[in-house]
């Protein structure tokens, strides 16, 4: 399972984070998975207060372990910029525990970026915030659902800007990080990566765009020369059906919706967002705060449960990999 329990952040307490955290604990309390949440204790009905993360495992079966932080009272479904401080403090504490080995990894509950922006937050999201805190030059977003893993070369940008943002350096660096993560964090000794084309039909030999010919194919050739098993760009519309997924361990998508549509179509409720390239393990549910259903007891915890399980799997794989490569 990996060293130590997993740290779950509070997320936006006005959203569904508190509800799905409680439901995840109820679903996992009798399993080997162990986690604690860094949050306002008043958000949860049955808790065990912690002084330090090491206490979580012994208390997990009886109550949700909470490492308390001070926070104004949140109202379900009512986002409040006054909660930004505790939301960010929870993330920073989780990162600190993961960096010093008190937590095996981080699972971040959903945040609402527009709420944080009102309080002066300047990052596009969790991924970029954690990268800044850890001095990570290139965080890579990977989405997972069932047997599908998709990493993204570009993340949060307008579609009209994607083509000009794709270059050989970004493709090569993203693929390198993906390959290393598959080896270290997923236990795949010889990863197979399938590259998506940027254009329809992967450019059709330049008839529908020249990015494949000028950027993606040369990048793939460079990566293969380094020993990375990656395909030339493939038409994205043929890459994600069941038979195609058997041919690779992860796909490398060029832009956000190219990767997220197949993931969410395959398992809308159980997808996981993982940040690769960080010095710590970080996963999150692949959905937002859902303010519209907060407090109604109808939110599904599937994605958070999957994120917890994936983080635990990654921690175990990383521990084994590092022991073998010390």
Residues making up the binding site for substrate: 126-127, 264, 273, 282
Q: Which residues lie closer than 8 Å to 48 by C-beta, 6 or more apart?
A: 55, 59, 60, 62, 63, 64, 65, 66
CA angle 70, 91, 181 (to 5 degrees): 160
Residues placed in the known binding site: 126-127, 156, 201, 256, 264, 273, 282
Please compute, for residue 262, the number of CA atoms within 13 A of its CA located in the half-sphere on the CB side: 27
Q: Do the beta carbons of residue 187 and residue 169 sit within 8 Å?
A: no
Residue 204's contacts (CB-CB under 8 Å, 6 or more residues apart) are none
Q: Using alpha carbons only, how large is the chain's radius of gyration in Å?
A: 20
- Widest Cα–Cα separation across the chain: 63
Burial of 101 (0-12, 13-18, 19+ CB in 10 A): exposed
* Binding region for a divalent metal cation: 156, 201, 256
């Amino acid at each position: 399972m990996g060293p130590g329990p997993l740290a779950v952040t509070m997320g936006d307490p006005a959203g569904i984070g508190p509800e799905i955290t409680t439901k995840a604990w109820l679903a996992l309390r009798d399993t080997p998975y162990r986690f604690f949440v860094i949050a306002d204790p008043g958000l949860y009905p049955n808790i065990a207060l912690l002084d330090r993360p090491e206490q979580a495992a012994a208390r997990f079966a009886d109550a949700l372990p909470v490492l308390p932080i001070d926070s104004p009272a949140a109202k379900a479904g009512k986002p409040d910029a006054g909660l930004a401080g505790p939301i960010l403090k929870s993330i920073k504490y989780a990162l600190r525990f993961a960096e010093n080995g008190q937590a095996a990894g981080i699972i971040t509950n959903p945040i609402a970026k527009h709420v944080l922006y009102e309080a002066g937050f300047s990052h596009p999201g969790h991924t970029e915030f954690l990268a800044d805190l850890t001095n990570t030059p290139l965080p890579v977003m990977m989405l997972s659902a069932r047997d599908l893993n998709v990493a993204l070369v570009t993340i949060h940008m307008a579609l009209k800007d994607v083509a000009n943002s794709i270059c050989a350096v970004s493709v090569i660096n993203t693929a390198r990080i993906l390959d290393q993560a598959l080896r270290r964090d997923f236990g795949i000794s010889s990863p197979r990566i399938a590259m998506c084309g940027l254009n329809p039909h992967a450019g059709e030999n330049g008839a529908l765009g020249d990015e494949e010919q000028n950027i993606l194919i040369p990048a793939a050739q460079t990566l293969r020369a380094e020993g990375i098993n990656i395909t030339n760009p493939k038409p994205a519309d043929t890459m994600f059906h069941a038979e195609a997924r058997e041919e690779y361990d992860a796909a490398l998508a060029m832009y956000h919706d190219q990767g997220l549509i197949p993931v969410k179509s395959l398992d809308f409720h159980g997808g996981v967002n993982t940040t690769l390239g960080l010095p710590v393990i970080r996963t999150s549910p692949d959905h937002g705060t859902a303010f519209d259903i907060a407090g109604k007891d109808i939110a599904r915890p599937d994605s958070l449960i999957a994120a917890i399980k994936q983080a635990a799997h990654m921690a175990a794989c990383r521990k084994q990999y590092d022991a073998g490569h010390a």
